[in-house]
Amino acid sequence: MNSANSDTQPAVTWKPNIATILALFAILVAYPAFRMIVAYWDLFPTGGRPESWWVLWSVILIGHWVCAAIVFAAIASEQAGAKSIGLNLKVFMRGRFILIAIILAALAIAYFAPTYLYGDAPPERMASHPLGPTTAAQRVFWVLVAITAGFVEEVVYRGYAITRLRRFVGLPAAIIIAIAAFALMHGPSAFEPQFLALYLIAGALFSAAFVAMKSKRLEALIFIHAFLDLTVIAAP
């Protein structure tokens, strides 16, 4: 076994192939470029068009799951399995009742939060998130957005990107590239200093945790990531 399967990578053998390269290109270059092209501020201008909010986040949601599908297809092609990226899907099955309870609680909070925060007149924009949800329907949808972001972004930009890139460029460079792609994947907001700092710090912390846990507990990072995104449903 070569040095790529050191103590910072799961003890699962796999061989990179053309699917690996294509998947890395898709998640590190193509998807961040696509997110940059998506006209955030035109889709949701200052005047506010509610339908544009739904278009924007639906496109992002679909884009995330397309990336996840590409990654899992590449993993299958490598004959590696989810454990090669530090993911044990059985953990979610064992904790399914807890997860269902958390989701139901989140949906209830999302539904009633606008009434508690705004009364009968929700604003066009959240004060705490320029593109966040305001109405009950938007906040309920945000539960799906948060869960998707937590799962897909950790699978793609921690589990897959780091474990695969390190075969080509080594671990330090793999982490740096994955963090940069993770930041750019957030679209034009990555060029706003305050948001760029947030994305880089979050990417660095999650990447460090992934490596520190010897790349074997990705589901813990998924839970934390999703929980942090879920807090938006209760924000003003």
Alpha helices in 4-95 (DSSP H): 18-25, 31-37, 40-43, 50-78, 90-94
pLDDT for 50 equals 61
Q: Is the pLDDT of residue 47 over 80?
A: no
pTM of the entire structure?
0.89
> What's the number of domains the chain is made of?
1
Q: For residue 1, what pLDDT is reported? A: 38
207 three-state secondary structure: helix
What mean pLDDT is predicted for residues 161-166?
96
The band of 39, judged by pLDDT with boundaries at 50, 70 and 90, is low
* Average pLDDT score over residue span 167-195: 92
pLDDT in tens, 113-163: 999 999 888 888 888 887 899 999 999 999 999 999 999 999 999 999 999
pLDDT of residue 58 exceeding 70: yes
Residue 165 in domain: yes
Average pLDDT over residues 187-212: 92
Please indicate whether residue 2 or residue 137 has the higher confidence score (pLDDT): 137
How confident is the model at residue 49, as a pLDDT?
A: 58
SS (H, E, C) 104-123: HHHHHHHHHHHHHHHCCCCC
Rg for the chain, CA atoms, rounded? 18
Evaluate whether residue 6 is within a structural domain: no
What is the span of the domain harbouring residue 59? 16-234
Q: How far apart, in Å, are the Cα atoms of 53 and each of 41, 47, 124, 164, 184? A: 10, 12, 10, 35, 20
- Residue 142 belongs to a domain: yes
Looking at the domain assignment, is residue 1 inside a domain? no
Q: Is residue 9 situated within a structural domain?
A: no
Task: Kindly state whether residue 7 falls inside one of the protein's structural domains.
Answer: no
pLDDT at 56: 86
**pLDDT class of 43 with cuts at 50, 70, 90:** low
Q: How far apart are the first and last CA of the chain?
A: 52
How sure is the predictor about 46, in pLDDT bands with cuts at 50, 70 and 90? very low
Q: Is residue 2 part of a domain?
A: no
* Tokens of residue 233, six digits: 């449903």
The arithmetic mean of pLDDT across residues 196-205, rounded, is: 95
In the structure, what pLDDT confidence band is assigned to residue 190 with cuts at 50, 70 and 90? Answer: confident
φ and ψ of 213, to 5 deg: -85, 15
Torsion sign across C-alpha atoms 216, 180, 143, 208: positive
Q: How confident is the model at residue 192 (pLDDT cuts 50, 70, 90)?
A: confident
pLDDT band at 11 (very low <50, low <70, confident <90, very high): very low
pLDDT score of 45? 47
Amino acid 123: pLDDT = 84
Task: State whether residue 135 is helix, strand or coil.
Answer: coil
Within-domain flag for 11: no
